[in-house]
Structure 1
Amino acid sequence: MKTGYTDRPILNLNEDLLGVKKYIDGLIDYITICSTPMTIAIQGDWGTGKTSIMNMIKDGIKDKCLYSWFNTWEYSQFNMSDELVISLLKSMVDSLNIKEENNNLNKSLKILANSLKSGTLMAIEMAAGDRVADTAEKVIDGFTNKDQADYFNSIKELKEQFQNHINYALKTSGKDRVIMFVDDLDRLNPEKAIELLEVLKNFLDCDNCVFILAIDYKVVYKGVKLKYNNVLDENKGKAFFEKIIQLPFKVPVVEYNLYNYVKHSLQEIGYSDDINVNLCVDLISNSIGKNPRAIKRLLNSALLLKKIQGDKLFIKENELILFGILCLQLSYEEVYNFFVTNLGDFNTFDELKKLTDENFYMESDEGKSLAEELSLDRDSILRVTKLMNSIINTIDQDNIKTPSEEKILNFINLVGISTITSAYLIDDSNTKLEDEYRYKNRELCKAIKSKMLEEITGIEFKVYQPRKNYDYWKRWNACVYFYHKLDDAEISVELHLITKIDTGITDVFYKVISTSSKMEDKLKVKNLLQEKLENLNGFAWNMDTGTYSMKFKNISECESDELVNLTSDKYKEIVDLIIC
């Protein structure tokens, strides 16, 4: 059984579980017959499999062509990024295994290294274009005439020497081309990546050479903009990319065979043979997508939770439920945190089903919508609701539409277990206490709202309770409010229940707030209400927030009915005073 997944890429064609062989075969055929020099870019986001594709290509051409492999990330990790260009060129030369006594190429590389350290890359680039005489004055001060002669002669000869070495290596090996793999270019600082690409173009653009680079266009575009101080538009960035790259190849993520990959991987970590693989694929497709690196993280989390629960308790149904919850955890962090933090609000199937409804995220009857609080755009809401629908379908495979209370309780418990693998969920030992006050204050505000609606007509009272914590508003606090216009100034008239978790004390506050941030509108509200509210004992004005506020009293010891009557009577007195 598999004991976990590392970030190791696929090493050869035999390991392909994603069904990309036809793409690899096509690339190999092209690479072995294309005109040279040729530069191919393997494009894709991090973790989509660029290195794996390059490994499979290498596996397919190793008996047909000479090849070299250079990983830029390994060098940049050890503060060697300033010597990256030389390291690349040296690695390419060494990979050819040339053992000539009179090897001037290494001498030229040493001079090139000194030139790069001296900041003369522009002169190098110009020299590579056979314009040495025009750029002699650009060589930094301090070079002797002999130094200058050695420098320019060596740079001018570098490409020719490299070509001669390529030809010699091919003649000796009996092969007809060299394939140069350059991996992890998109992990470099974008400007350093551009420098490396320019060197490849200027010095190694040789006959019988095919360069295969793992890099994304977005990195190239960003690097070009940085190099030229953000003065180039996207078309210029595209032109630069096309100058360097003759053939772009995008990782075929959309064509990945997820079913085969997921089925094999779940079996490797000991999941049930008859687990609903199609539902697992739906869960992945609606969450983390087809990124192999993200899927490995998901599988590692699933394996850990399986071990924590114990194989005997980890029944097939629980496997599927936790798999779905992990998909939410790894793809929509804010939604997962909201769900876990507010589990008490979703203890029935009808409440859980709300999470599959787009309107639930968009409704703003109670202040900010959930979409605003969780920073979800329209597209994210659509994907979240599809994912939540798939997750809820895991609760009871035998009774998807109406799962039993026992199954729902099991689901809620498993959500709690999943927090072990959450990298970003805030660990708060007061969560249960918060849930108690959250429920209590919400129900009290609902009761106050109902009483106000009975006693005052023509006003639309609403209840607000935040879904997460803010500086002032905590998720366990709540308020009743309504909007009103005084002349042409809009105000919000509010009753707040604010609880201090550490003491358990709940205070009532009344606030009248200008909904405008303009100073003239705040002053207008102050002038309209000053005589009325300042004569009412306890109200004070705050110009910064445009708010009249009053602390009423501590109602921690009040019985529920008494509390509702007490706070509602005061609220009604304030409302009558304002709107009369």
Structure 2
Amino acid sequence: MSTSSIIDIPKKAGDKDQLGIEAYKNGLTNFIDSAQTPLTIAIQGEWGSGKTSLMNAIKHDLCDSNSKFHGIWINTWEYSLLTDEYTTMTNIIQGIIASVISELSKDKNQDLQALKSKAVNFFKAATRGATKFGANALTAGVAGDATDAFFESTEKQSSLRDLHSELQEQINISVEKNKDIKGFLFFIDDLDRINPPVAVQILELLKNIFDLENCIFILAIDYEVVVKGLEPKFGKKTTENEREFRSFFEKIIQLPFTMPIGQYRVNDLIIDNLIKLQYFNDGELTPEISDVIVDISNLTVGSNPRAIKRLLNSLSLVRSIMLAVENESKPTAFEQLINIGVFSIQIAYPLLFRVLERYPDFTAWNDEVMETFKLKTIDADLKEKLSKNEYFDEEWEQVLYQLCQRENFLSNRAMQISRLFNTLKIRIESNATDEANDSQDVTLLDVMTNAIQIASVTSYDTNIEESKVKEIHKSGFLKGLRERIKTSLLEQAVTKNIKMLYQQKAVKSNLTFLIEKENHKYRLDLSVHTSAKEYRIQARYGCWYFVKARHSNFESNLEESEAKAVKAKERFEGMLLKMDVLSKELPDNYYLNHYVLTNDKHNTIVATMNVTTPNAWGFIKDEQALEIYLDKLIKFLETVDDIKIVGW
């Protein structure tokens, strides 16, 4: 059965083990089943790593199906809502005791009156401390150690000892009367969702109140949360005081269990759910594509189930939007694969996604990107060192390296991030080689632009490097431009002996015409871009396979014998002279540009004509402006007449 979303809720007992951790669950369950008490276990892992799912499975095996233990489940996050830290702790302790009494009350013959009375006495004393704690917090402006408020008076210490003793007695009676029950399992969830200092104080309370025989506490909390919670007491963790942090943790926790994220079998989680979402059409999700998807996931969202589910839901949403908006054709398997890469970057590396929004063609990242994002200049020694690394030997990769130095998280993953970007580059170039003469978007710039525009609908990053004019729906605008100029452009091309075709199936980030010269076709792509204060309408002509790229330097390639045989240098310089002449007659808001790329071991020549305007829609509705535009566009095509493949 297909669906449009993947819910992010803890795994229920009986659900498929998509992560492949059944053996770890069984091992921990068997350990708990035969463990001596009292015992406290910390299940550690980052948010979304499956801690709650694991505890659910343990509770099912030991408390629900076999009933070897009484199971008590406490969600600390629910108890902390709209309360101060003292009230949070009081509520949690009350919740635990109330749950224990509820379980013990199932035996109608067990007398719990003394336990209830001592619990009431304890909380009366605790309530009187709450007023003092609140006053201290207001007058001192510091939260303080709320646990002190529980134990600072002789009255509270006495009531605590009485409560602890009575709890132990009643639990022992229950276990002795029912030989099938081994004791109580307490599942304390979501400690890492509340304020870390409060979480640490809750740990201390649990140790003082519930360090009981026949009781095992299973806590969902990460060591890093404990570290943050102890910083008010010990200061920032250093190599000198790390032992103090570790000693506190070990005093509370007898057994740390870390979620085996590195062992997660994410293949099933990703691929099974992509099939469930019907993200790919029948037959498109080949083993090769599946391997690439898993590789992209490993390089970005990793094995975190929550991040993977967010990725899957984002992909499903935009596929639905694409099908609704682009009703001319369905997204291809290639487009869907690139979307996976771009959405993964958006989720895992928001800074890099912001850079891509501004500069989609990451292989053209240069000093402009360095300046825009205020990156440090790469010194000569570092540049030489990076040049010897296959992941950072190109200029754009070195810019990527510097971007990664903006955040420790990115810096630690710089090499795998470069692998990710190169994976996307290889897939895009491979697709472009197959489809170079088609009307569909194939260049890295176009493919990335399409994917980034789609991904922006699920972005919530508010860190904006610069203000921009109102965003424009590129596909809608280009379709409007097509309606206004297509017929006239094709007619004017005929008068200049330019053989122009329009065969485009779907308009996305480019309105594409084909220029036929001898046995080859060349793309003329019209696109629209936004900047800080204006829109830019670009006409781009590209010629693949102009000369073989035997050297990294284009000028050297022009001196090769094959290039000389087809007069490549003369034709290229002729284009530059014609562009110079045309530039002098263009309106002030027009300008020309050109650059050289390397694709499939050949140099590609790209020439552009750009028009800037404060109102893109107003531009294409202005008859006079369009008349000038068409005239200059034809002249632009005449300047690149000799930029073609010769000798093939």
Could you state the TM-score of these two structures normalised by the residue count of structure 1? 0.64
1:390 aligns with 2:391: no
Q: Which residue of 2 aligns with 1:93?
A: 100
Relative to 1, partners in 2 of residues 1:227 and 1:188: Cα closer, same or farther, differing over 3 Å?
A: farther
Give the drift of 1:33: 0.4
Which 10-residue stretch deviates more, 26-35 or 372-381? 372-381
| Percent pairwise identity | 29
1:203-222 equivalences under 5 Å are: 203-222=209-228
Q: Is the 8 A contact 1:394 1:400 kept in 2?
A: no
Relative to 1, partners in 2 of residues 1:372 and 1:220: Cα closer, same or farther, differing over 3 Å?
A: closer
Q: Distance in 2 between matches of 1:13 and 1:71?
A: 22
Give the drift of 1:217: 0.8
1:104 aligns with 2:121: no
Q: Is the 8 A contact 1:86 1:109 kept in 2?
A: no
Q: Which residue of 1 aligns with 2:622?
A: none
Relative to 1, partners in 2 of residues 1:372 and 1:359: Cα closer, same or farther, differing over 3 Å?
A: farther
Q: Distance in 1 between matches of 2:360 and 2:193?
A: 39
Q: Which residue of 2 aligns with 1:303?
A: 316
SS at match of 1:429: coil
Q: Which residue of 1 aligns with 2:203?
A: 197
Q: Which amino acid aligns with 2:459?
A: S
Correspondent of 1:429 among 457, 461, 469: 469
1:278-427 equivalences under 5 Å are: 278-310=291-323, 313-343=330-360, 357=392, 359-361=394-396, 378-395=411-428, 406=440, 407-408=442-443, 409-424=446-461, 426=464
Q: Is the 8 A contact 2:364 2:396 kept in 1?
A: no
Q: Which residue of 1 aligns with 2:174?
A: 169
Give the drift of 1:347: 8.6
Q: Distance in 1 between matches of 2:345 and 2:418?
A: 11
Correspondent of 1:271 among 270, 279, 282: 279
Q: Distance in 1 between matches of 2:403 and 2:70?
A: 58
Give the drift of 1:388: 0.9
Q: Distance in 2 between matches of 1:373 and 1:153?
A: 54
SS at match of 2:217: strand
1:235 aligns with 2:248: no
Give the drift of 1:335: 1.4
Output the aligned Cα RMSD: 3.8
Q: Distance in 2 between matches of 1:54 and 1:215?
A: 12
Relative to 1, partners in 2 of residues 1:6 and 1:324: Cα closer, same or farther, differing over 3 Å?
A: same
Give the drift of 1:51: 0.6
Q: Say how many residue pairs are matched.
A: 419
Q: Distance in 2 between matches of 1:269 and 1:201?
A: 46
Relative to 1, partners in 2 of residues 1:378 and 1:215: Cα closer, same or farther, differing over 3 Å?
A: closer
Give the drift of 1:246: 0.8
Q: Which residue of 2 aligns with 1:84?
A: 91
Which 10-residue stretch deviates more, 220-229 or 334-343? 220-229
Q: Which amino acid aligns with 2:126?
A: L
SS at match of 2:15: helix
Q: Distance in 1 between matches of 2:362 and 2:271?
A: 34
Q: Which residue of 2 aligns with 1:516?
A: none
Q: Which residue of 2 aligns with 1:526?
A: none
Q: Is the 8 A contact 1:66 1:170 kept in 2?
A: no
Give the drift of 1:23: 0.1
Q: Distance in 2 between matches of 1:373 and 1:39?
A: 39
Q: Which amino acid aligns with 1:278?
A: D
Q: Distance in 1 between matches of 2:469 and 2:227?
A: 46
Which 10-residue stretch deviates more, 248-257 or 259-268? 259-268
Q: Which residue of 1 aligns with 2:254?
A: 246
Q: Which amino acid aligns with 2:120?
A: K
Give the drift of 1:65: 2.0
Give the drift of 1:9: 0.9
Q: Over residues 164-201 of structure 1, what are the superposed CA-to-partner deviations in whole Å (9 max), with x where a residue is unaligned?
A: 22123334543112211100111121221122111211
Q: Distance in 2 between matches of 1:227 and 1:372?
A: 31
Relative to 1, partners in 2 of residues 1:228 and 1:113: Cα closer, same or farther, differing over 3 Å?
A: farther
Q: Over residues 455-484 of structure 1, what are the superposed CA-to-partner deviations in whole Å (9 max), with x where a residue is unaligned?
A: xxxxxxxxxxxxxxxxxxxxxxxxxxxxxx
Q: Distance in 2 between matches of 1:178 and 1:225?
A: 32
Q: Distance in 1 between matches of 2:234 and 2:251?
A: 16
Q: Over residues 134-187 of structure 1, what are the superposed CA-to-partner deviations in whole Å (9 max), with x where a residue is unaligned?
A: xxxx528xxxxxxx4xx5543222122111221233345431122111001111
Relative to 1, partners in 2 of residues 1:310 and 1:121: Cα closer, same or farther, differing over 3 Å?
A: closer
Q: Which amino acid aligns with 2:531?
A: E
Q: Which residue of 1 aligns with 2:69?
A: 65
Relative to 1, partners in 2 of residues 1:67 and 1:373: Cα closer, same or farther, differing over 3 Å?
A: closer
1:179-190 equivalences under 5 Å are: 179-190=185-196
Q: Which amino acid aligns with 1:383?
A: Q
Q: Is the 8 A contact 1:39 1:247 kept in 2?
A: yes
Q: Distance in 2 between matches of 1:213 and 1:155?
A: 22
Which 10-residue stretch deviates more, 418-427 or 403-412? 403-412
Q: Distance in 1 between matches of 2:168 and 2:453?
A: 63
Q: Which residue of 2 aligns with 1:139?
A: 153
Q: Is the 8 A contact 2:4 2:317 kept in 1?
A: no
Q: Which residue of 2 aligns with 1:453?
A: none
Q: Distance in 2 between matches of 1:224 and 1:400?
A: 57
Q: Distance in 1 between matches of 2:195 and 2:97?
A: 21
Q: Distance in 2 between matches of 1:153 and 1:410?
A: 71
1:75 aligns with 2:79: yes
Q: Over residues 502-526 of structure 1, what are the superposed CA-to-partner deviations in whole Å (9 max), with x where a residue is unaligned?
A: 799xxxxxxxxxxxxxxxxxxxxxx
Q: Distance in 2 between matches of 1:123 and 1:411?
A: 58
Q: Distance in 2 between matches of 1:374 and 1:210?
A: 40
Q: Distance in 1 between matches of 2:408 and 2:212?
A: 51
Q: Which amino acid aligns with 1:168?
A: I
Which 10-residue stretch deviates more, 403-412 or 294-303? 403-412
Q: Which residue of 2 aligns with 1:450?
A: none
Q: Is the 8 A contact 2:72 2:100 kept in 1?
A: no
Identify unmatched segments of 5+ residues in structure 2: 134-145, 366-386, 472-528, 538-611, 617-648
Q: Which amino acid aligns with 1:299?
A: L
Q: Is the 8 A contact 1:70 1:183 kept in 2?
A: yes
Q: Over residues 28-79 of structure 1, what are the superposed CA-to-partner deviations in whole Å (9 max), with x where a residue is unaligned?
A: 1000001111111000111111111111111221212221111101111242
Q: Distance in 2 between matches of 1:398 and 1:372?
A: 32
Q: Distance in 2 between matches of 1:435 and 1:166?
A: 69
Q: Is the 8 A contact 1:360 1:370 kept in 2?
A: no
Q: Is the 8 A contact 2:360 2:448 kept in 1?
A: no
Give the drift of 1:107: 2.3
Q: Which residue of 2 aligns with 1:7?
A: 8
Q: Over residues 241-263 of structure 1, what are the superposed CA-to-partner deviations in whole Å (9 max), with x where a residue is unaligned?
A: 11111110000000000111111
Relative to 1, partners in 2 of residues 1:178 and 1:32: Cα closer, same or farther, differing over 3 Å?
A: same
Which 10-residue stretch deviates more, 225-234 or 161-170? 225-234
Q: Is the 8 A contact 1:68 1:95 kept in 2?
A: no
Relative to 1, partners in 2 of residues 1:347 and 1:303: Cα closer, same or farther, differing over 3 Å?
A: farther
Could you state the TM-score of these two structures normalised by the residue count of structure 2? 0.58
Relative to 1, partners in 2 of residues 1:337 and 1:124: Cα closer, same or farther, differing over 3 Å?
A: closer
Q: Distance in 2 between matches of 1:346 and 1:429?
A: 25
Q: Distance in 1 between matches of 2:39 and 2:436?
A: 60
Relative to 1, partners in 2 of residues 1:329 and 1:205: Cα closer, same or farther, differing over 3 Å?
A: same
